[in-house]
């Protein structure tokens, strides 16, 4: 049975949402539907029996560009053109209609209140030569796949079942468009597949109802579980008739979503199994360094000469933990050959080891480079780093250093990686916060300045901080956008309130200690356990 465009227009969804602007050859046979959204869509690859759906998103800024695109489609002698109005174009211009009339091309408009996926799904079922046979075939393939899953076959084996059916190549991508598994090593085809997957991802950011994307023989379907995208299942076929393929993929992507979720459960289980070893390494004092070395080797980690701890976390919208884990490992691998990354509570912790020759001169540069690479794929990243040690027995103390660096750095509003060495003074003063001496500093220096600022909306404390963060009073005044005489007046007011003269070395040291003590106090967690285990 051959389906004409006229027959499709009788479907309920067409009657409700589609209008015929130009009938043209309305009896054209329709064997496939495709969506044209990308600016470099290959018109030459279209089948003569294709119905093209588009919003003209890549061409809407110029009526000339729209007309050139429509004329190119007409010359391809496709079955028809369906343009969604109300998104990028509000109506069909007379000049565009004239082109369709000249070529006898059926030109349809689609309401903005319906999705392409709804039109595609209803059309695909109707276009199938034998609807009952198609459903039976889908059920048969579904049974093959479920039997394969029950036999615990790999993801690649599952994809090969589909490949044999369609003479295709399959790719499974994660949400960062990295290949989880594939049945092909064609790098050029993979680039095209990733490009189509990114188009689908951009649509799904705006509306979750977009499930798949077709382009040039490539079909990409989202794999989701509990309204969270697990990845993208992609198929590339040799010929452009993708009509039934999207129906199979809708079913198969659900199965792969289960498989991806299963893989995540396995990864989480592995994380839990390593937790006992990690606890022993991070929270137990060992006199014999070889004991820690043995524990680390059980985690497939090879200690080198010098070691440090990093803590990496992600604020804001949280994605898949295993994806973030792989991204951290990939970033660290650029500079380090020996490291182990694990999940501790809500943060990832990395034990990193390197050769003596690699460590001292470029320590900060290497860490910053890894985090810059990570930030290219992940947003809202916060990282803290301990100092370096040659003794594995110091690992528990260095884990505490990394935790405190994260706490001090994030609360002080600093940017970039928080290195513990930058907060040594705060860490030292931190231990004296509950002492009587600390109470004197707050009573005699800190509290009077803060209370004066609060009462008179002055900026004495901010001025003092800026003086300690710059090399001179002139630089501090420029940074604060005030005249130098204004800054000197504030310093005099500080002396009146505290009895300490900033220009006198011994008094300036006491003011600096108050400044450090205040920073330590502001960065103090609610309980001691939150800062160090």
Whole-number pLDDT of residue 18: 94
Whole-number pLDDT of residue 413: 65
- Please indicate whether residue 84 or residue 290 has the higher confidence score (pLDDT): 84
Torsion angle of the four alpha carbons 450, 455, 456, 458, in this order, in degrees rounded to the nearest 10: 20
Please report, for the chain, how many H helices and E strands are present, in that order: 22, 15
**pTM exceeds 0.85 for this model:** no
Q: What integer is the mean pLDDT of 249-254?
A: 66
pLDDT digit string, tens, across residues 500-516:
898 988 888 788 878 87
Question: Which span out of 44-48, 151-155, 248-252, 346-350 was modeled with the highest average pLDDT?
Answer: 346-350
- Please indicate whether residue 437 or residue 127 has the higher confidence score (pLDDT): 127
Instruction: Kindly list the structural domains of the chain, giving each domain's residue range(s) and its CATH number in brackets, ordered by start.
Output: 5-125 (3.40.1390.20), 130-263 (3.30.450.40), 284-421 (3.30.70.270), 431-531 (1.10.10.2840)
pLDDT band at 526 (very low <50, low <70, confident <90, very high): very low
> What is the spatial distance between Cα 363 and Cα 360, in angstroms, rounded to a whole number?
6
Q: Is the separation of the CB atoms in 171 and 182 below 8 Å?
A: yes
pLDDT digit string, tens, across residues 379-388:
888 899 998 9
Please say if the pLDDT value at position 530 is more than 60: no
> What is the spatial distance between Cα 166 and Cα 247, in angstroms, rounded to a whole number?
13
Please say if the pLDDT value at position 285 is more than 60: yes
Torsion angle of the four alpha carbons 360, 362, 366, 372, in this order, in degrees rounded to the nearest 10: 140
**Interacting residues of 130 by C-beta distance below 8 A, sequence separation 6+:** 1
> What is the spatial distance between Cα 49 and Cα 201, in angstroms, rounded to a whole number?
28
Q: Is the separation of the CB atoms in 25 and 106 below 8 Å?
A: yes
pLDDT band at 244 (very low <50, low <70, confident <90, very high): low
Q: What integer is the mean pLDDT of 430-447?
A: 69
Q: Is the separation of the CB atoms in 281 and 291 below 8 Å?
A: no
Q: What integer is the mean pLDDT of 351-366?
A: 78
Q: What integer is the mean pLDDT of 31-53?
A: 78
In this structure, the chain runs to a length of 533
> What is the spatial distance between Cα 519 and Cα 461, in angstroms, rounded to a whole number?
12
> What is the spatial distance between Cα 466 and Cα 479, in angstroms, rounded to a whole number?
8
> What is the spatial distance between Cα 123 and Cα 191, in angstroms, rounded to a whole number?
29
Query: For 56-60, 317-321, 438-442, which range has the lowest pLDDT when averaged over its residues?
Result: 317-321
Please say if the pLDDT value at position 217 is more than 90: no
Whole-number pLDDT of residue 260: 65
pLDDT band at 529 (very low <50, low <70, confident <90, very high): very low
For 54, 196, 251, 257, 433, the CA distances from 235, given in Å and listed in that order, are 22, 11, 14, 15, 62
Whole-number pLDDT of residue 1: 47
DSSP for residue 389: B
Please say if the pLDDT value at position 239 is more than 60: no
Q: What integer is the mean pLDDT of 57-86?
A: 90
Whole-number pLDDT of residue 134: 58
pLDDT digit string, tens, across residues 227-236:
777 788 888 8
Please say if the pLDDT value at position 56 is more than 80: yes
**Interacting residues of 515 by C-beta distance below 8 A, sequence separation 6+:** 464, 465, 468
Whole-number pLDDT of residue 523: 42
């Amino acid at each position: 049975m051959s389906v004409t465009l006229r027959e499709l227009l009788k479907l309920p969804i067409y009657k409700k949402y589609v209008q015929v602007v130009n009938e043209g050859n309305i009896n054209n046979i329709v064997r496939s539907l495709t969506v044209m959204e990308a600016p470099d869509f290959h018109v030459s690859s279209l089948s003569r029996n294709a119905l093209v759906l588009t919003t003209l998103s890549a061409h809407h800024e110029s009526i000339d560009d729209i007309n050139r695109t429509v004329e190119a489609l007409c010359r391809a002698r496709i079955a028809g053109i369906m343009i969604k109005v109300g998104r990028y174009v509000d109506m069909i211009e007379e000049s565009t209609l004239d082109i369709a009339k000249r070529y006898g091309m059926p030109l349809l408009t689609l309401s903005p209140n319906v999705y392409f996926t709804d039109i595609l799904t209803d059309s695909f079922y109707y276009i199938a030569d034998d609807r009952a046979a198609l459903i039976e075939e889908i059920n048969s393939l579904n049974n093959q796949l479920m039997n394969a899953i029950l036999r615990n076959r790999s993801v690649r084996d599952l994809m090969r079942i589909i490949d044999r059916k369609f003479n295709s190549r399959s790719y499974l991508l994660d949400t960062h468009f990295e290949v989880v598994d594939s049945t092909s090593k064609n790098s050029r085809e993979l680039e095209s597949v990733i490009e189509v997957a990114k188009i689908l991802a951009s649509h799904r950011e705006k509306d979750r109802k977009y499930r798949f994307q077709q382009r040039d023989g490539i079909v990409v379907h989202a794999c989701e579980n509990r309204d969270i995208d697990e990845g993208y299942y992609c198929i590339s076929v040799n010929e452009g008739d993708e009509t039934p393929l999207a129906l199979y993929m809708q079913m198969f992507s659900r199965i792969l979503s289960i498989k991806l979720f299963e893989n995540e459960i396995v990864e989480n289980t592995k994380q839990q199994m390593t937790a006992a070893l990690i606890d022993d390494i991070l929270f137990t004092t060992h006199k014999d360094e070889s004991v820690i070395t043995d524990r680390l080797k059980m985690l497939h980690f090879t200690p080198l000469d010098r070691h440090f701890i990093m803590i990496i976390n992600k604020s804001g919208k949280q994605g898949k933990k295993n994806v973030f884990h792989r991204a951290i490992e990939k970033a660290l691998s650029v500079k380090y050959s020996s490291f182990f990354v694990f999940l501790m509570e809500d943060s990832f912790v990395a034990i990193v080891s390197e050769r003596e020759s690699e460590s001292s001169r470029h320590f900060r540069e290497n860490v910053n480079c890894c985090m810059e690479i990570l930030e290219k794929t992940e947003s809202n990243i916060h990282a803290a780093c301990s100092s370096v040690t040659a003794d594995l027995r110091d690992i528990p103390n260095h884990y505490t250093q990394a935790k405190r660096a994260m706490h001090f750095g994030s609360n002080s509003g600093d940017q970039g990686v928080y290195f513990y060495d930058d907060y040594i003074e705060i860490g030292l003063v931190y231990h004296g916060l509950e002492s009587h001496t600390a109470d004197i500093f707050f009573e005699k220096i800190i509290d009077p300045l803060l209370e004066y600022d609060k009462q008179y909306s002055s900026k004495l404390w901010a001025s003092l901080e800026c003086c300690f963060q710059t090399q001179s009073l002139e630089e501090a005044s420029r940074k604060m956008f005030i005249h130098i005489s204004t800054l000197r007046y504030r310093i005099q007011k500080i002396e009146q309130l505290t009895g300490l003269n900033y220009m006198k070395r011994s008094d300036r040291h006491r003011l600096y200690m108050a400044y450090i003590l205040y920073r330590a106090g502001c960065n103090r967690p609610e309980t001691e356990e939150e800062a160090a285990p």
